[in-house]
Amino acid sequence: MEFSFTVLGSSAAIPALGRNLSAHIVQHDSNVFLIDCGDGTQLQLDKHKIKKQKINQIFISHLHGDHVYGLFGLLTSYSLFGRVNELEIFAPAGLKEMIDIVFEKSFAFLTYPIKVHLLPTEGFNLIFENNKLSVFSFPLKHRVACNGFLFREKEKPANINPDKIKKYNLDYESIKAIKSGSDYITADGICIPNSEMVFPKQPLRSFAYCCDTAYNLEMVPYLENCDLIFHDATFDKSNQENATLTLHSTSEEAAQIALSANAKKLLLGHFSSRNKSLEVLLQEAKSIFDASFLAEEGKKVVL
Amino acid sequence: MEFSFTVLGSSAAIPALGRNLSAHIVQHDSNVFLIDCGDGTQLQLDKHKIKKQKINQIFISHLHGDHVYGLFGLLTSYSLFGRVNELEIFAPAGLKEMIDIVFEKSFAFLTYPIKVHLLPTEGFNLIFENNKLSVFSFPLKHRVACNGFLFREKEKPANINPDKIKKYNLDYESIKAIKSGSDYITADGICIPNSEMVFPKQPLRSFAYCCDTAYNLEMVPYLENCDLIFHDATFDKSNQENATLTLHSTSEEAAQIALSANAKKLLLGHFSSRNKSLEVLLQEAKSIFDASFLAEEGKKVVL
């Protein structure tokens, strides 16, 4: 089952050096989720052949323009394609007012319903789930209300070994019990441990999105053992002062978070246009957390 | 003195087939003007190496999203570049309300003043001028308030022939009178016609932007003898019904306007995504007005 993260824009604040504004895709099973939607996102979706009609949930971390101004064009284009499916948008307070006035003044007519969910400003909260995946939000440390997101697979019933069904001639009730974790007691009263009746479970995968944020160890408990963390790495360490001032992170700080959370991989993104080359950011991160990688337009990381 | 028109986006309504949303540049002398600003325009400005800091006037034909949603990103990026020069925006009613609420909710802080000028909804009106160029607006025929723009060079004082200054030993007052069009009367009372004293004037050039609009002969008097008309050519003639319904034009209708106005060249643009190939549009236009051309991203037409 696919679980991947694709970068559509890796630039902070302004498009620069061929890097576009923040927009990212999470694909899980047959679901496509959009995280953030900077100016021109619909063009990036087309360029990287993302099936945008399949996006039914959009997660907006915060309302700075480089994360949200592409929404107006994307939402109206959906109408021009005749979309009928409801679109859910998870965002901080203020988005609905923006959309309402922009659509009123630009005579936009939507062919489908939009439901805007207000993101909580505190704590770790379940904001969306389907039968295979949960999405949680948690506060980041930025100049304005800003959220991180954790995408975590749900526990699935175990897959029973068909050879055991045959061997013990299992009935429906027994199969159901074994799939739920019970051991099996044979007609002779022998206990067969559950682990011998089912295939080993696939480990549950998780992905965390932490952008834009200052260095913040408080969120580490939410990120523990993540397969992939995407983290703000706006600056290299020579620009630590700017990072502190603007509540962004250096790539070293991003790496420290990944290390503290015992993550498997770290994807660095949201690069300042000061970074003509990104090699310094990568090396600084790798000195702390070796499994660090650079975001780039179109890059897909499979979990 | 440069006078040119550059296409940054030739698509109608949605970005499609590699064609971007409406945005166009007029360069005259050292001035750079932007006409319309669809989603992602700042990316197109960068891609086509337009010096966006030189844009001090933006003309918005109407408030449909594909002509205006790129404005939010462009205006905030200007601040991030530390712009201080005033920016004038000429637009129909509603733009200021959109900008105000979007900037408030997205915490945008501008480092420079914006002056939004409301476009007249009737008649042919001078809306901007500098010492070399006048810009006029006039109503188009669309589903919402929509304006065309005429960029027309100003009459310049004639250049006096320096040989004549020497020959007749002209004083300052005489030179001034001749430059203003007077004949010269010699000390002997002989009249030298003005045309013999000055170099022939360069013809005054003009460019008209007519997008989005239904076929509308009423505007032809404003477009007479234009060097270049950019005209809505959303559909080919097999889609005449759609053109009529949506108040757009076919390429034949655009050509009819150029012919009626005795224009020198016609640039067809604002293509529907139905037009997989644009060859049909071009041929249909050329059958009526031979000097017809197709807009394409990055194409610059020098007047």
Predicted confidence at residue A201, as pLDDT, reads: 84
Distances (CA, A) of A20 to A5, A32, A270: 16, 20, 10
What mean pLDDT comes out for the span B131-145?
Answer: 95
Question: Do the beta carbons of residue A194 and residue A181 sit within 8 Å?
Answer: yes
Residue to test with chain A: of B22, B69, B103, B234, most A Cβ within 10 A: B69
CB A94 to CB B81 under 8 A? no
Task: Measure in Å the smallest separation between the Cα of A268 and chain B Cα atoms.
Answer: 22
Predicted confidence at residue B180, as pLDDT, reads: 87
Residue B133: band (very low, low, confident or very high) from pLDDT cuts 50, 70, 90: very high
- The partner residue sitting opposite B70, judged by closest CB among A39, A94, A106, is A39
Q: How far apart are CA A143 and CA A145, in angstroms?
A: 7
Predicted confidence at residue B62, as pLDDT, reads: 97
What mean pLDDT comes out for the span B266-275?
Answer: 96
Predicted confidence at residue B48, as pLDDT, reads: 96
What mean pLDDT comes out for the span B83-95?
Answer: 97
Six-digit token pair at A128? 């969306």
Question: Do the beta carbons of residue B293 and residue B263 sit within 8 Å?
Answer: no
Q: How far apart are CA A51 and CA A166, in angstroms?
A: 43
Task: Measure in Å the smallest separation between the Cα of A8 and chain B Cα atoms.
Answer: 14
What mean pLDDT comes out for the span B158-162?
Answer: 90
Q: How far apart are CA A1 and CA A159, in angstroms?
A: 15
CB A63 to CB B14 under 8 A? no
Place of tokens 């901007």: B128
Predicted confidence at residue B121, as pLDDT, reads: 93
Helix H or strand E encompassing A101: helix A95-105
Distances (CA, A) of B51 to A118, A236, B54, B81, B231: 39, 29, 6, 12, 25
Is it the case that residue B155 has pLDDT exceeding 90? no
CB B98 to CB A81 under 8 A? no
Place of tokens 């650079």: A294
Residue B208: band (very low, low, confident or very high) from pLDDT cuts 50, 70, 90: very high
C-alpha Rg value of chain B to the nearest Å: 22
What mean pLDDT comes out for the span B105-131?
Answer: 96
Show pLDDT as tens, one digit a residue, over chain A (303 residues).
999 999 999 999 999 989 999 999 999 999 999 999 999 999 999 999 999 999 999 999 999 999 999 999 999 999 999 999 999 999 999 999 999 999 999 999 999 999 999 999 999 999 999 999 999 999 999 999 999 999 999 988 888 999 999 999 999 999 999 988 899 999 889 999 999 999 988 889 999 999 999 999 999 999 999 999 999 999 999 999 999 999 999 999 999 999 999 999 999 999 999 999 999 999 999 999 999 999 999 999 999
- The partner residue sitting opposite B105, judged by closest CB among A63, A72, A80, is A63
In chain A the domains, ranked by start, together with CATH numbers, are 3-156+202-302 (3.60.15.10), 162-197 (no CATH)
Q: How far apart are CA B231 and CA B211, in angstroms?
A: 6
ipTM, two decimals: 0.91
Q: Is A288 exposed, middle or buried (0-12, 13-18, 19+ CB in 10 A)?
A: middle
CB < 8 Å to B22, chain A: none
Task: Measure in Å the smallest separation between the Cα of B212 and chain A Cα atoms.
Answer: 14
- The 10s digit of each residue's pLDDT in B2-15 is 999 999 999 999 99
Chain A: residues touching B (Cβ < 8 Å): 13-16, 20-21, 38-40, 42-43, 46, 63-66, 68-70, 72-73, 76-77, 80-81, 94-95, 97-98, 101-102, 105-108, 143-144
| Averaged pLDDT of chain B | 95
CB B77 to CB A15 under 8 A? yes
Is it the case that residue B231 has pLDDT exceeding 90? yes
| Residue B220: other Cβ atoms inside 10 A | 16
CB A102 to CB B98 under 8 A? yes
Residues of A annotated as part of the active site: 66
Phi, psi of A103 (to 5 degrees): -70, -35
Predicted confidence at residue A244, as pLDDT, reads: 94
C-alpha Rg value of chain A to the nearest Å: 22
What pTM was computed for the model? 0.91
What mean pLDDT comes out for the span B226-254?
Answer: 96
Report H helices in chain B. 41-47, 71-80, 95-105, 162-168, 172-179, 194-197, 220-223, 240-246, 251-260, 279-286
Q: How far apart are CA B255 and CA B229, in angstroms?
A: 10
CB B106 to CB A98 under 8 A? yes
Beta bridge pairs of residue B129? B134
Helix H or strand E encompassing B126: strand B125-129
Residue of A nearest to B67 (CA): A106
CA angle (B243, B247, B250) in 5-degree steps: 35
Task: Measure in Å the smallest separation between the Cα of B155 and chain A Cα atoms.
Answer: 38
Question: Do the beta carbons of residue B14 and residue B273 sit within 8 Å?
Answer: yes
Residue to test with chain B: of A37, A39, A297, most B Cβ within 10 A: A39
CB A43 to CB B81 under 8 A? no
CB B98 to CB A105 under 8 A? yes
pLDDT above 90: percentage of residues in chain B: 93
What mean pLDDT comes out for the span B258-266?
Answer: 98
Catalytic residue among B29, B36, B39, B66: B66
Q: What is the DSSP string of B35-83?
A: EEE-TTHHHHHHHTT--GGGEEEEE-----GGGTTTHHHHHHHHHHTT-
CB B15 to CB A65 under 8 A? no
- The partner residue sitting opposite B14, judged by closest CB among A15, A63, A77, is A77
Predicted confidence at residue A133, as pLDDT, reads: 97
Q: Name the residue type at position B190.
A: I
Six-digit token pair at B218? 């009423």
Residue of B nearest to A96 (CA): B105
- The partner residue sitting opposite B64, judged by closest CB among A38, A40, A107, is A107
Phi-psi region of B61 (alpha: psi -120 to 50; beta: other; left: phi over 0): alpha
